[in-house]
Amino acid sequence: MIRGLPASIMAHAAVIGASYVTFPYWSTNTRILASEFEAVDVNFAEIGEITNIAPLVETEPEEPEEEVAPEEPEEIPEDPVEEELPEAEQDVAVDEAAPPEENPEDLLPDFEPEETEPEPEEAEPEPEKAPDPAPRRPQDDLMDFLSQSESTFKSERATQRERPEPRPVTPEPTTALENAPKPVETRNRQGAGERNANTARLEAFVDSRIRNECWSGVDDLPNPERYNVHMNLRLNEDGTIADLSLVDPKRRPIGSSFMGTAVDRALRAVRKCEPFRLPSDEYELWKEINVYLGLGYVDK
């Protein structure tokens, strides 16, 4: 009985691990999409051609050709009746009420794959192309910056043990992270992301990347302080995203809304920043990151 326990644990771990590794790719397969549209007839708002407005009697020097009040009495066109498209062309509402338990998938639910359509083979090997070369230079600079600081970190780490309370070292590029008070949710966490030099510097790096390169903010939305997004990010050792999930709100609101836009932008910002090039020997520190985007996370 007891001997079988490790085997059982290993078997379960293998299944969970396999699911964990393959899960991100479940949704990236090229799909043949079912024809699912909202069909809308454009109703014409015509401008009447025959008017009761007095015509200009005097000869105008620069009269544009499109003068109203034509001589021939034309019939004023009625607006076409707005018609429903035939059944086949109507929307197929796949998931008007998205299953609440499937958080990451509710934006792309059950499309019906059509077996008859050939899928392009090129779609599969895409992931290799994903790391874009363009943003590497600033990352490398930051890597240099971080590696130069590592010796400082190590010596500080040694002395930290003697210090009763570790205090964050403010890095020279001032970021909101250092100045900003902690979000409400994080204040009660005990020991989470301790404010030591290592975490502060790593956080400053992630902050800087998201703020300057990947996120476009929500300042253009009305009352932007209302639109705050908390995400949980888990990273692989190479800095690629292992998992990105919404914490607050738990899911993207359906349809067009300012909160939906804020969620879209937040998720896109983190995904655009991939890969996060952080020191591999400190993977344990940065393998999981709580990302808070929005003015509401800053104490007034």
Partner 1 sequence: MFRKLICAAIVGLLGTWSAAMAQLEVVVDRADLKPVPVAIPNFEAIGVDPEVAQTISDVIRNDLESTGLFTITPEDAYIQKDLNIEVAPRFADWKIIQTDALVVGTVEQIERDGNQLVRGSVRIWDVYGEELMRFEDSNGRQVSGRRFTTTPEDIRRIAHKIADAIYSRLTGEDGYFDTRIVYIAETGPKNARVKRLAIMDADGANVKYLTSGAFTVLTPRFSPTAQQITYMSYEGGIPRVYLYDLRRARQEVLGNFRNMTFAPRFSRDGNSVLLTQATNGNSDLYLMDLQTRQSRRLTDHPAIDTSPSMSPDGRQIVFNSDRGGSPQLYIMNTNGTPRTCPSGGRDVACRITFGSGRYSTPVWSPRGDLIAFTKQSRGRFHIGVIGIDGRGERLLTESYLDEGPDWSPNGRVITFFREPSPGSSPTLWSVDLTGRNLRPLLTQTDSSDPAWSPLLD
- Smallest distance, Å, CB 176 to partner 1? 5
Burial 25-51 (b: 16+ CB within 10 A, else e): eeeeeeeeeeeeeeeeeeeeeeeeeee
Q: Helices 197-209 and 136-160 sit at what angle, rounded to 10 degrees? A: 160
Of 7, 8, 38, 88, which one interacts with partner 1 (CB under 8 A)?
A: 38
Which residue in this structure is represented by tokens 């639109």?
227
Is 48 one of the binding residues for partner 1 (CB under 8 A)?
yes
Of 4, 7, 55, 159, which one interacts with partner 1 (CB under 8 A)?
A: 55
Nearer to partner 1, 5 or 158 (CB): 5
Is 286 one of the binding residues for partner 1 (CB under 8 A)?
yes
Is 123 one of the binding residues for partner 1 (CB under 8 A)?
yes
Is there a cis peptide before residue 275, judged by omega within 30 degrees of 0?
yes
- Smallest distance, Å, CB 281 to partner 1? 13
Nearer to partner 1, 197 or 218 (CB): 218
- Give strand pairing partners of 246: 231
Region 205-234 residues binding partner 1, contact defined as CB under 8 A: 206-207, 210-212, 215-222, 224
Is 112 one of the binding residues for partner 1 (CB under 8 A)?
no
- Distance (Å, rounded) from C-alpha 99 to C-alpha 105? 9
Closest alpha carbon to 23 in 285, 243, 218, 196: 243
Binding mask 175-204 for partner 1 (x = CB under 8 A): -xx--x-xx--x---xxxx-----x--xx-
- Distance (Å, rounded) from C-alpha 150 to C-alpha 129? 31
Residue 214, token pair as written in the block: 């990947």
Q: 244: Cβ–Cβ under 8 A, 6 or more apart, which residues?
A: 231, 232, 233, 234, 267, 270, 271
Is there a cis peptide before residue 249, judged by omega within 30 degrees of 0?
yes
Is 163 one of the binding residues for partner 1 (CB under 8 A)?
no
Region 72-101 residues binding partner 1, contact defined as CB under 8 A: 76, 79, 82-83, 85, 89, 91-96, 98
Q: Which stretch binds partner 1 (CB under 8 A): 125-133, 140-148, 151-159, 163-171?
A: 125-133
Q: Which stretch binds partner 1 (CB under 8 A): 15-23, 59-67, 140-148, 157-165?
A: 59-67
Total chain residues near partner 1 (CB under 8 A):
127
